[in-house]
Amino acid sequence: MKIVSHYLQGIADVGFFPSISLLIFFLFFAGMLWWTFKKSNKDYFTEMESYALDEDRALPSSKAKE
């Protein structure tokens, strides 16, 4: 760890990178929340909530075994 900290101390404004990574994470998280609660996704989520139980959407490999 001493090797890494030695090189990081040589970089000017190294304290700037954690702020940038926090900003990127926050923007990604806010974007995912916005996408999730968008009204246009209601039909998509309604379709996906029963996707695993729908027999019409079985995998082609499971039909080939019958």
Query: What is the model's pLDDT at position 26?
Result: 97
What is the phi/psi pair of residue 59, to 5°? -70, 145
Task: Please state the length of the chain.
Answer: 66
pLDDT tens-digit readout, 7-48: 666 666 667 778 889 999 999 999 999 988 888 878 888 888
Tokens found for residue 41? 């996704």
Domain boundaries, the chain: 2-55
* Whether residue 60 has pLDDT greater than 70: no
- In eight-state DSSP terms, residue 55 is G
The whole model's pTM is what? 0.51
